[in-house]
Amino acid sequence: MGYNLTAIGQYYEGNQHGNYQFCSLEDIINQFMIVYVGEDKIIRKCNRVDVAFHAQRALAELSFDTFKSIKSQEITLPASLTMILPHDYVNYTKISTVDSSGIKHPLYPTKHTSNPFPILQTSDGSYDFQVPAATGFLTDNSFDSSTQAIPQATTPDNQWVAKGPYGDPVVDDILISGSLLKFVHGSKSFGANTGFNYPGSITSRIYMVYQRINVTGTTSIDLTATATSAAASAGIKGTGLVRIGVTSLVPGNANVVGQSFNMGIANPDITQIVNGYMGAAMADPAIFNLTDSNGNPSYLEFNDGTTSTLSTGSINTSLVPEDVDGNKYLYVLVISTVNNFTTVSDGDGNESTNTIDSVVVSGDLPVNYLQEEAESTTWTNFKANEPVENNINDYRDYENNVYWPNEGERYGLEPEHAQVNGSFYIDQLRGKIHFSSNISEKTVILDYISDSLGTESEMQVHKLAEEAMYRYILHSVASSYAYTQQLVPRLKKEKTAAIRQAKLRLSNYKLEELTQILRGKSKLIKH
């Protein structure tokens, strides 16, 4: 069949130029199944899956030393002096820089340095097996969720949970809005109750939001919070009161000394224990039962009607009791109320709003692996100094026009340093190429080989090596079947011969080019 002129036109207008020299791996598999598999053929019966596997293995193996490497990458070397290895990198063939004329200058590997794994150590030199948790102890520590009410529950489950009920008076509310945790407080007149032994009063409710955190293995934590307490109004109400802290006591519906506290009553005037139940325990700072490194209770208090950021000292968590599973839990409590209401405010515009911007619980969590410093000293020193090949005062330098008359005999020169282009080494652990400092901001080219595996369009075979692919697949498939074992030695010889022939074809030697090179043999080599 002749060429399709329409297809030819599309070729020149498209971006698949030069593809005629390749055939797809899918075509090779299909043609192998037609030619070599069937009755009265070398392979009587074979699954296409097996052929596809051996075809990909052939493509990978031949890519290493038979196919021409056509993959390369170019970057402007950043200040970090590193280049990331390509995703399909197997080995490099050449690394070089490019000058203003577009000429490549080869770089050579150095064996006198590396980038070792820098082990993180404590101040006394021991290995550090603690990793900073920073904000990891709390979920949504900055209250960045979309506008929502806080769920009412007694089981935290890694979220902020509100004490219920709330909404009494009807203006009261607890919600997350605009990256803030908001407590809206009105006030109500509560009559005297001799059963709970408190006088009649006008007061706001006291509300709480809490979250349970797992501090297993952590010896200490730090607490930082930013909050705004509501401003006072003369003759109507005092300032808002916000307490943020941590406790090992469990929020619940009962009071068990040293274990839990009753959060069921929201009237801050009820402060007495009646029938074994504490009244508004949330109004009592004693529920924050831990202390920080300064001896202060484990909470922060905001009560001046302004915005402020406060921090505790280090809070010891080693004494927190373990549960039945051996875990240690603390509760982060955010408590809000308003001081000294003198009038009933239930929708009259005199309500108060306390807001919390962030609550951060930081500390160290234990790990069972070696941690890495940010950068090894070896690499830091290597990139910070002038490369030895550019330092004319170093004994390892080659002779130069300055020191030739003075030194004359400088033996032991290492060839890798007898050039001024620069050097590199490959950090296989981190998948990066590290360069000497004199290559900074230069254009670097990496020529490399891959296994040629990838998408359908990427898996191609040069037509000059097509026969080598068939012979490689045929030998591999025959080696996997018992009835073809007698053919394996012959097929191996044919595979080897085909690969050798493919190498010669792909070497692309041209007689005229070789002749031109040989003409220079008779020239005097000058140094």
Give me 107's structure tokens.
């770089």
CA–CA dist 412, 418 (Å, integer): 11
Supply the CATH number for residue 351's domain.
2.60.120
Which of 312, 346, 366 represents a domain boundary (last residue)? 366
Report the first-to-last Cα separation within the chain, whole angstroms.
60
Q: 186 burial class (0-12, 13-18, 19+ CB within 10 angstroms)? A: buried
Question: 335 and 200 in one domain?
Answer: yes
Question: 253 and 167 in one domain?
Answer: yes
Domain count, the chain: 3
Q: What is the DSSP-derived secondary structure letter of residue 304? A: S
Does residue 5 sit in helix, strand or coil?
Answer: helix
Which of 366, 394, 409 represents a domain boundary (last residue)? 366
CA–CA dist 236, 229 (Å, integer): 16
C-alpha to C-alpha distances, 228 to 181, 316, 527, nearest whole angstrom = 10, 27, 79
Does residue 6 sit in helix, strand or coil?
Answer: helix
Question: 337 and 476 in one domain?
Answer: no
Give CA torsion, residues 483, 484, 486, 487, to 10 deg: 170
Give me 452's structure tokens.
């040629």
Question: 484 and 427 in one domain?
Answer: no
In a domain, 81, yes or no: yes
CA–CA dist 488, 268 (Å, integer): 91
Which of 420, 450, 480 represents a domain boundary (last residue)? 450
For 429, half-sphere exposure in the C-beta direction (CA atoms, 13 angstrom radius) is 6
Question: 8 and 45 in one domain?
Answer: yes
Question: 482 and 419 in one domain?
Answer: no
CA–CA dist 388, 409 (Å, integer): 19
Question: 445 and 456 in one domain?
Answer: no
- DSSP lists the bridge partners of residue 250 as 260
In a domain, 513, yes or no: no
CA–CA dist 451, 28 (Å, integer): 17
In a domain, 325, yes or no: yes
Q: Is the pTM of this model over 0.85?
A: no
CA–CA dist 373, 379 (Å, integer): 12
Residues 447, 92 contacting (CB under 8 angstroms): yes
Question: 79 and 35 in one domain?
Answer: no
pLDDT in tens, the chain (527 residues): 455 556 777 778 777 787 788 888 888 999 999 999 998 898 999 999 999 999 999 998 888 888 876 789 999 999 999 999 998 888 898 999 999 889 999 998 888 888 888 888 878 888 877 776 655 688 888 888 655 667 776 666 678 888 755 556 778 888 888 889 999 998 888 766 655 556 667 888 888 999 999 888 888 899 999 999 999 999 899 999 999 999 999 887 777 777 888 776 677 766 555 444 445 678 888 889 999 989 999 999 999 999 999 999 999 888 888 888 888 899 999 999 998 888 888 888 889 999 999 999 988 777 777 778 878 888 888 888 766 555 544 444 444 444 444 454 555 666 666 677 888 999 988 899 999 888 989 999 999 988 887 765 678 888 888 999 999 999 999 999 888 899 999 999 999 999 999 998 888 778 888 887 787 776 665 54
Range of the domain at 467: 1-67+452-507
Question: 80 and 7 in one domain?
Answer: no
Give me 13's structure tokens.
């207008």
CA–CA dist 336, 166 (Å, integer): 12
Question: 383 and 354 in one domain?
Answer: no
Residue 264, Cβ neighbours under 10 Å: how many? Answer: 19
Question: 295 and 185 in one domain?
Answer: yes
In a domain, 519, yes or no: no
In a domain, 303, yes or no: yes
CA–CA dist 421, 443 (Å, integer): 12
How large is the greatest C-alpha to C-alpha distance in the chain, in angstroms?
120
Question: ∠ CA 293-298-299 to the nearest 5 degrees?
Answer: 130
Report strand pairing: 22-24 vs 460-462. Answer: antiparallel
In a domain, 140, yes or no: no
In a domain, 445, yes or no: yes
Does residue 161 sit in helix, strand or coil?
Answer: strand
In a domain, 132, yes or no: no
CA–CA dist 359, 498 (Å, integer): 70
Question: 384 and 345 in one domain?
Answer: no
